[in-house]
Amino acid sequence: MSETKYTAADYKAGQPRWCPGCGDHAFLNSFHKALAELGVAPHDIAVISGIGCSSRLPYYMNTYGMHTIHGRAAAIATGAKVANPNLTIWQISGDGDGLAIGGNHFIHCIRRNVDINIVLLNNRIYGLTKGQYSPTSARGFVSKSSPYGTVEDPFRPAELCFGARGRFFARCVAVDGGPSVEVLKAAARHKGTSVIEVLQNCVIFNDGTHNMVAKKEDREKNAIYLEHGRPMLFGPNKEFGLMQEGFGLKVVKLGENGVTEQDILVHDAHCEDATLHLKLALMEGPDFPIALGVIRDVEAPTYDESVEAQIADVAAKKKYHNFAELLATNDTWEVK
Amino acid sequence: MADEMIVKELDDVVVRFSGDSGDGMQLAGNMFSNISATVGNDISTFPDYPADIRAPQGTLTGVSGFQVHIGSGKVYTPGDKCDVLVAMNPAALKTQYKYCKPQSVIIIDSDSFTKKDLEKAKFTLENPFSELGIKNEVIEASITTMCKESLKDSGLDAKSIGRTKNMFALGLVCWLFHRDIAVGEKLLREKFAKKPAIADANVKVLYDGYHFGANTHASVSMSYRVPSKEQKEKGKYMDINGNKATAYGLMAAAEKAGLQLYLGSYPITPATDILHELAKHKSLGVKTVQCEDEIAGCSSAVGAAFAGALAVTSTSGPGICLKSEAMNLAVIAELPLVVIDVQRGGPSTGLPTKSEQTDLLQSLYGRNGESPMPVVAATSPTDCFDAAYMACKVALEHMTPVVLLTDAYIANGSAAWRLPQLEQYPAICPPYVTPDMAAGWTPFQRNPENQVRYWAVPGTEGFMHRIGGLEKSNETGAISTEPENHHLMTQLRAEKVERIADSLPALEVEGDSDADLLIVGFGGTYGHLHSAMDTLRAQGRKVALAHLRWINPLPKNTAEVLRKYPKVVVAEQNMGQLAGYLRMKVEGVCLHQFNQVKGQPFVVQELVDAFTKIIEE
């Protein structure tokens, strides 16, 4: 843990009003901690959210904040970052806010690679409107608006992110504090759009949706914590690993069929080619572990920096730099 | 020879250049306008583009027109009908003849009136003039042949030679009006500075056209002069259209306010040229983001405003519907934002290239909840500059979104514009928080004089706060659903907008103080309404004009003005939106209406006829 002059308390404001047991509480604690460890001054941070349970989060931050309108947080954050690149911007969205009504802004923000951090709190349900299926709800999901089950397939956030040429994708479980803090810090350090999918439980309308990874012992069995440069091992005793097989991945047990640690894939989050990152991000139980940690982290020019660079470049070439000089570039005639 | 010809002096003249989309009529028209402006004429121009990008050559839907009105004194409109029509092909003749006066001179390229050309334009008789019943003087010039002959040794390919026809026509028109052809040459040399061969060819053909007129007298009975009688205000002038003037107004305001200009936009006709113009001027630090949709255009501007920029979004037609949600966020968050709506024909996709004033009520009321928003409407192409500047000033100083209404007619139309001196424009002073305010400051703390809240820009130490789309407590800035607070905040937001009227100029009345009829309008119809008033007064009628620029809030003397005259007519290019609004705002006022929604500018004569009828009733 790095030393900064801030503590988690410096970033706290207000009293969260989420339901007792909601995954957002745990995430908020991790977020405060991560910001303290990063040490960016609270007045240089803007937390921008859309609408939904999780989008209430800016009210619990002692930073600049804007709780905006449904789905538009990515567009609003884009404008804020382009206008003021000195700000550190966190966008908070839920799965409905970010991927349904805000899907277009989500993909285009990622495509442009605006240097903001998008936290996608995914509980696979509309909570604030009291329990309708969301774009990440599984096919057949029964909810108030799908009493006979949905007849549509869900989005998988990583697929959208990579489809939009995303350069940073990480995943954590809301109640899994330590790794969440690390993932948030890595996202903040990444230049460009960072997408952090937070698997978050809705205790009222979709309790248990992330049961596979809800408890520590479940995560030991059903999740793999990816770390750049480390072999992809998991299991209570790190006895399982991932290997490439043909176009896909397979789970192997060390010692079985002559498999040794040498055979296990080593995670390369910085690889330009996103093919394996996508494979990892889409792994699901029970056959595969759910990937947690930083899955992809690739450098690329950011939109806001490119905007600034182009302005500097054009300004150096053009001979007019203020309004009077601009006027003088036109064809004029004089009345004497 | 030319000296023996009769030269008639005119106060003003209207020339309409028309031809195929690819015939360069816009350039010819623009150049004629600039050449005339250089000698001190006042100018007003209007391009009439076809809706198709490239309709088949020679067809009726592919005709592109450009009308230029030049005057020895002030001209207010591009003119109802033309004195000279240039028709480069039969399709142009057929579609544009309706803009001719009985005494108009028509210039045609006789080479493009073959049987095939006539068929493309759906003529059934061999003589298109008798088919249309044209009795006007016609100058038939074999423009295509003469251009080919003139440039046969130029080394240019046939296509490039064909493209010079417009300059022949321009040269001929310049002869007809005794215009200084050297000014035309200068403009061409500047335009084609990087292509000297093209410049040479165009200049040669321009002179050919001029000489053709001089040598043959173009078989017309007389030529004309439009002298500059009225001394225009001294200074430098340029020709500017409304969209460019709007963009310039935004840049001027940003510089004056010491802020970065941010434009979030999405391409849409006819507003896109504002984005094009601003995108060019990165050397002034302008940031333009072409967003994924209209919603993002406005939303990103709200984000930019939150972050401390002069934030603007521009649109037209259905785009304004899509922006309404984010505009409302700026209303409740009390952030400065300028929303430009270049009105076009609606509803829905409507008439994308045509002009209307049908978004007034949408701008005023088209959002959920009580959502007061200042609305200002530019009155002419050049007024777009001042209106944009003032929209920015009001947005920034009163912490509110402002709608700037222009329309396709003034956005594309152009006029001579005296270059502004920025130091003569009022200062723009946003109500920033100051360090001494930090103790006990809350986000909705207001200046009691105008109810404006203070602006704490992210990055400022000691003023961290959260705003958003939920109602907030006026006291603490925290979320509040408290009944009294909501009522209070609703009133405060309305009062904040009303107080803007304290700094607005009074509604000016032009014309007769003892008028029998007061004409009331808003926005881009000013020129036509003014011309109608002038015509009526010249006929001995007592008429006045009150033209609104600010519609919300209304100038403080609006009620007084409306009640002063025995008869009042509200003339607008919609079905009565301003009239209805004025009836609501000014109790008991009796208003006549003149409403027209044709996608075209008003026709002065039609206004005169309608107003005469009202006076005589």
Q: How much is the pLDDT for A76?
A: 98
The C-alpha of A118 sits at a distance from chain B's nearest C-alpha, in angstroms, of 15
Q: What is the ipTM of this complex?
A: 0.97
Cβ distance of B459 and A82 shorter than 8 Å: no
The answer on pLDDT for A1 being more than 60 is no
CB contacts, 8 Å: A85 with chain B = none
Q: Note if the bond before B553 is cis, omega within 30 degrees.
A: yes
The answer on pLDDT for A291 being more than 70 is yes
Cβ distance of A314 and B467 shorter than 8 Å: no
Asked if B182 has any chain A CB less than 8 Å from its own CB, the reply is no
The answer on pLDDT for B4 being more than 70 is no
pLDDT band at B201 (very low <50, low <70, confident <90, very high): very high
pLDDT, tens digit (0-9, with 9 covering 90-100), for B398-430? 999 999 999 999 999 999 999 999 999 999 999
Contact assessment for residue A266 and residue A243, using Cβ atoms and an 8 Å cutoff: no
Q: Give the CATH fold of the B6-225 domain.
A: Pyruvate-ferredoxin Oxidoreductase; domain 3 (3.40.920)
Please tell me which of the candidates A64, A68, A76 has its beta carbon nearest to residue B458.
A64
CB contacts, 8 Å: A63 with chain B = 464
- The residue assigned the tokens 């309308």 is A205
pLDDT, tens digit (0-9, with 9 covering 90-100), for B87-136? 999 999 999 999 999 999 999 999 999 999 999 999 998 899 999 999 99
Residues 6+ apart with CB under 8 A from B529: B519, B521, B545, B547, B571, B602, B607
Q: How much is the pLDDT for B48?
A: 84
Q: What is the percent of chain A where pLDDT is above 90? A: 97
Q: What are phi and psi of B87, to 5 degrees?
A: -125, 110
The answer on pLDDT for B611 being more than 50 is yes
CB contacts, 8 Å: B329 with chain A = 68-69, 72
Q: How much is the pLDDT for B1?
A: 38
pLDDT, tens digit (0-9, with 9 covering 90-100), for B69-86? 999 999 999 999 999 999
**DSSP result, A207-273:** TTTTGGGTSHHHHHHHEEEE-TTSB-EESTTS-EEEEEETTEEEEEETTGGG--GGGSPBP-TT-S-
CB contacts, 8 Å: B467 with chain A = 65-67
Its CATH architecture, for the domain B241-424, is: 3-Layer(aba) Sandwich (3.40)
CB contacts, 8 Å: B305 with chain A = 79, 83
CATH 3.40.920.10 segments of chain B: 6-225
The CATH code of the domain at B510-616 is 3.40.50.920
Q: How much is the pLDDT for A97?
A: 97
Q: Which helix (H) or strand (E) holds B579?
A: helix B577-585
Residues of B numbered 242-301 whose beta carbons fall under 8 angstroms of chain A's beta carbons: which are they? 248, 251-252, 255, 260, 262, 264, 281-285, 287, 289, 291-293, 295-296, 299-301
Q: How much is the pLDDT for B49?
A: 77
CATH 3.40.50.920 segments of chain B: 510-616
Q: How much is the pLDDT for B340?
A: 98
Q: What is the percent of chain B where pLDDT is above 90? A: 90
Please tell me which of the candidates B34, B232, B306 has its beta carbon nearest to residue A80.
B306
Q: What is the percent of chain B where pLDDT is above 70? A: 98
Q: At what angle do helices B294-306 and A73-83 cross, to 10 degrees?
A: 50
The answer on pLDDT for B179 being more than 60 is yes
Please tell me which of the candidates A68, A79, A322 has its beta carbon nearest to residue B264.
A79
The answer on pLDDT for B452 being more than 70 is yes
Cβ distance of B465 and A68 shorter than 8 Å: no
CA angle (A127, A212, A195) in 5-degree steps: 60
CB contacts, 8 Å: A110 with chain B = none
The answer on pLDDT for B3 being more than 90 is no
β-strand partners of B19: B64
- Residues A35/A40/A45/A51 CA torsion (nearest 10 deg): -10
Mean pLDDT for the stretch of residues B168-185: 94
Q: What are phi and psi of A109, to 5 degrees?
A: -65, -45
The answer on pLDDT for A262 being more than 60 is yes
Q: How much is the pLDDT for B2?
A: 42
pLDDT, tens digit (0-9, with 9 covering 90-100), for B223-252? 888 888 766 788 999 999 999 999 999 999
> In angstroms, rounded to a whole number, what is the distance separating the alpha carbons of residues A44 and A29?
20
pLDDT, tens digit (0-9, with 9 covering 90-100), for A2-14? 578 999 999 999 9
Q: Which of A230-244, B12-26, B460-474, B554-568 has the lowest mean pLDDT?
A: B12-26
pLDDT, tens digit (0-9, with 9 covering 90-100), for A93-144? 999 999 999 999 999 999 999 999 999 999 999 999 999 999 999 999 999 9
Cβ distance of A83 and B295 shorter than 8 Å: no
Q: How much is the pLDDT for A2?
A: 54
Q: How much is the pLDDT for B220?
A: 73
Q: How much is the pLDDT for B52?
A: 67
CATH 3.40.50.970 segments of chain B: 241-424
